[in-house]
Amino acid sequence: MNVTTSYGTWNNHGDSGNLSVEASIVDAINGGPSDWQERMESSGALDLIASDYRDAIEDALPAGISIAGNEFIGLHHTDPDYTDEIGDFDIREAIQDVDLWTIIQKHDVDN
């Protein structure tokens, strides 16, 4: 059984202006026309974007760190599987490398 600990929240690493991945996505599309935003929400596109974005973030994290809800959980330094790579990993940088706009375009109701 692994010993885990919190590595911080979405607000700490992903987007200091939002408490959740989903709120960050809504902020990202807020510049679009209101009817398009409504269609994105009613079609389920926002849920698909959130799922794909979370998957991409998870893929960018090393083994031993994951996103659970809006919190990053990882191995505690006392866990036998813990490595320096985990301890030194920059979660914020990994998130910045994920292209949210490509994911949004993939699920854009106008495409």
pLDDT digits (tens, 9 = 90+) for 9-21: 999 999 999 999 9
Predicted pLDDT at 17 = 94
Predicted pLDDT at 92 = 97
Beta bridge pairs of residue 4: 75
| Residue segments in the chain with a per-residue pLDDT below the cut of 70 | none
Predicted pLDDT at 65 = 97
Q: Where exactly are the structural domains of the chain?
A: 4-106
Let me know if 101 is exposed, middle or buried by CB neighbors in 10 A (0-12, 13-18, 19+).
Answer: exposed
